[in-house]
Structure 1
Amino acid sequence: MRFVPLLLRLLLFAVLVGFLVSPDTFEWLLRPLVDGGTPAIYNQGSLLSLTLQHLEIVFAATLAAAILAILLAILVTRSFGAEFLPLSRSLVNIGQTFPPVAVLALAVPAVGFGAKPTLIALFLYGLLPIFENTLTALQNLPRSVTEAARGSGMTAMQRLLKVELPLSLPVIIAGIRLSVTINLATATIGSTVAAKTLGEVIIAGLQSNNLAFVLQGGLVVGALAVLIYDALSALEAMLSRRLGLR
């Protein structure tokens, strides 16, 4: 029975790829949602291209957020950087304090329309889960392991790179997974400032009262979120098993 979820995910992936490559094949499913002369499949651009651009923005923002969040967590867990913990928490909480729409509104006058304000919003929004997970992992490492590494003569940098970060990696991946999942949905609002995302499909549907457009845009984002979440969960579980944490 444990193979059933995997088969369902593979089926979802196959359907998603099939829809993005050849959306007209699925027109019969969406046709009942629109009037006779209204297009049932998004026809103002390539769904595949929009999906790839959507993913590109999300992954670029998440990568930048992960680098900063992990570095900050490492800094505040060192003796020389512990005093910066309150400041670091305030910094990573900015994205949660200001809604993404507000960040977009503030960023557009500074960087213009397009992908840049969306990247800024997603970057700020993705910091908190990665920072908190990395911080928690580094602060809760088994004392016996860290003491053994210190006793073996490892330098502080060697302990960080060879012991602390590898042991913390599953929890860090969990934070990245949450950040990516949040940003996949949040990125749709980037289309309000001319970023190329799947939000274009949803907005076009809302403007023309076309439920089929809204549904296909939302379902593609949802399918991506489920598949990426599950892939990162599998990676986290694999790393945990290899490290003997499960």
Structure 2
Amino acid sequence: MSLRSSAPRVAALLLLVAFVTAPQLFSFAFEPLTANNAPAIYNQGSLLSLTLSHLRIVFLATLASTMLALALGIFVTRPSGHEFLPLSRSLVNIGQTFPPIAVLAIAVPLVGFGEKPTFIALFLYGLLPIFENTLSGLTGVSPQALDAAKGMGMSPRQRLFQVELPLALPVILAGIRLSVIISLGTATIGSTVAAKGLGEVIIAGLQSNNVAFVLQGGLVVALLAVLIHDGLGIAERVAARRSGRPLDEAR
């Protein structure tokens, strides 16, 4: 990666860190968007704390989605699990069938307000892209590579962990990247059920008709999405180079 190509990423990261740690420094940019002496910078909580809480719930939900989707993907690509593929697809499609706000409405009476219903919504919503990419990655492994591994005396378990998963990793990472980006945006609605996150800033702006607040929450989410998307894209390219698999298969 050249210095010139990495400069925008570094600049975006520095801007994000500066804004969430010292937002008052940027008040001059948001003051024109306020009216009736409303505050230019969100003042009902720490932007840094809300950003970390937002990232935390997204990370935990994506981790849980990855573990289940990866396990299901491996299972249904084994001879003993082929017949469960339709059932598995139905399960992971649940999150995409219902909009996240509907999942929250169902989850709140069961688990209460806060992070738990948001976690459930993000977990369910993130399953499909990871599951489908796991399927694509594992079924796309070259039969010649599998035959060579079998000829070397590898057991099915060894072939899975030493051949199939490493070769499928770029495609799986592409699914995880998509899941993370979806969750970053979707997590903002968690604030409607009292979950800590950047949705608080956006909702506060909508309630008070303060465009500056709405823009601040949206700006931080957008910068996070761009940086994480870019970072996971780099991880995909590294994995693709190591596996020798064309990167366009992971997209």
Q: TM-score, normalised by structure 1?
A: 0.98
Task: Give, in whole Å, the separation in 2 of the partners of 1:75 and 1:118.
Answer: 28
Task: Give, in whole Å, the separation in 1 of the partners of 2:245 and 2:139.
Answer: 16
**What corresponds to 2:201 in structure 1?**
201
Q: Does 1:91 align with 2:82?
A: no
Aligned-pair CA distance for 1:9: 1.1
Q: Secondary structure at 2:35's aligned position in 1?
A: coil
**What corresponds to 2:138 in structure 1?**
138
**What corresponds to 2:100 in structure 1?**
100
Aligned-pair CA distance for 1:111: 0.2
Matching of residues 1-12 of structure 1 within 5 Å: 3-12=3-12
**What corresponds to 1:112 in structure 2?**
112
> What whole-Å deviation, never above 9, does each CA across 1:179-236 have from its counterpart, x for those lacking one?
0000000000000000001000000000000000000000100000000000000000
**What corresponds to 1:220 in structure 2?**
220
Matching of residues 1-246 of structure 1 within 5 Å: 3-35=3-35, 37-246=37-246
Task: Give, in whole Å, the separation in 1 of the partners of 2:53 and 2:187.
Answer: 10
Q: Secondary structure at 2:80's aligned position in 1?
A: coil
Aligned-pair CA distance for 1:35: 2.0
Calculate the aligned-residue CA RMSD, in Å.
1.0
Aligned-pair CA distance for 1:4: 3.4
Task: Give, in whole Å, the separation in 1 of the partners of 2:141 and 2:22.
Answer: 49
Aligned-pair CA distance for 1:2: 5.3
Q: Secondary structure at 2:79's aligned position in 1?
A: coil
Task: Give, in whole Å, the separation in 1 of the partners of 2:141 and 2:244.
Answer: 13
Letter in 2 for 1:66: T
Aligned-pair CA distance for 1:245: 2.1
Q: TM-score, normalised by structure 2?
A: 0.96
Aligned-pair CA distance for 1:3: 4.0
Q: Secondary structure at 1:38's aligned position in 2?
A: coil
How many residue pairs are counted as aligned between the two chains?
246
Letter in 1 for 2:37: G
Consecutive unaligned residues in structure 2, runs of 5 or more? 247-251
Task: Give, in whole Å, the separation in 2 of the partners of 1:115 and 1:37.
Answer: 33
Q: Secondary structure at 2:6's aligned position in 1?
A: helix
Aligned-pair CA distance for 1:37: 1.5
Task: Give, in whole Å, the separation in 2 of the partners of 1:89 and 1:2.
Answer: 41
